[in-house]
Structures are given as structure tokens and as C-alpha cells.
Amino acid sequence: MERRLVPGGRREDKPLDVDAAKSKLQEALKALDALLATVPDSVLERSRRVLEVARAKERAAEQEAEPAPAPVVEEAEAAAAPSGPPAEAPSVAAVDAAVVDEAVSAPAAAAAASP
């Protein structure tokens, strides 16, 4: 089977025009900024909060996957440390649920408070 190149689609050996590439990139960024300006602020804020929650979940999953190195405790610190069982930390699921609840309820509360 014969392969054909698309006219103008072949690779040429001429150097890359850096200024032209920067100009095209700037045009694309301006177009994205203009598109982003059409999105309501409430939608952007909610999207930011959802992204924060997703990043927090990703960090938590990474921390669970990699065991943390054992902390080095000096003898004086060990002697001054309170004895007894350590306080129980909230679970990742509880923290995630609280962050999601806050992300969802904050825009609704702000909308209800505005005249």
C-alpha cells in the first residue's frame, strides 16, 4: 500500500521561528482569557474548590502509598513528651467530606446573603 503525505504536511528542515511561535502562543492565551471571562464567578469559585478537594485527595493517596520516614526524636524531647495514647486524628474521608460540604454550601450561603 502506498502512503502519501498531505500537501504541506511534510517536515521541512528549516529552523523554528521562535518569535512567530511566541506570537501564536500569546494569541492562544488571549483567546483562552477571553473565553474564561465569559464564565460566571460563582462557577469559577466552585470549580476552584472542587479542584482543591481533588488535589487534597491526591496528596492523601500519595501519602498513604508512601510510608513516611520515622521521625528522629532527641532524648530530651522523648522525655518531655506526654505519656499515654496519642490523640486520634480525623480520617481522610471525614476531612474530604467536610471540605466538599464547605465547597458546596459556601456558594449557596453567599447567594442567599446577597441582596
For residue range 97-106, what is the model confidence (pLDDT) as tens digits? 666 666 666 6
pLDDT for 8: 58
Local structure of 26: helix, strand or coil: helix
Between 32 and 115, residue with greater pLDDT: 32
Residue ranges covered by each domain of the chain: 40-64
d(C-alpha 112, C-alpha 107), whole Å: 9
Residue 43 contacts residue 103 (beta carbons within 8 Å): no
Tens-digit pLDDT profile for residues 77-104? 555 555 555 555 555 566 566 666 666 6
Residue 102 contacts residue 46 (beta carbons within 8 Å): no
pLDDT for 90: 54
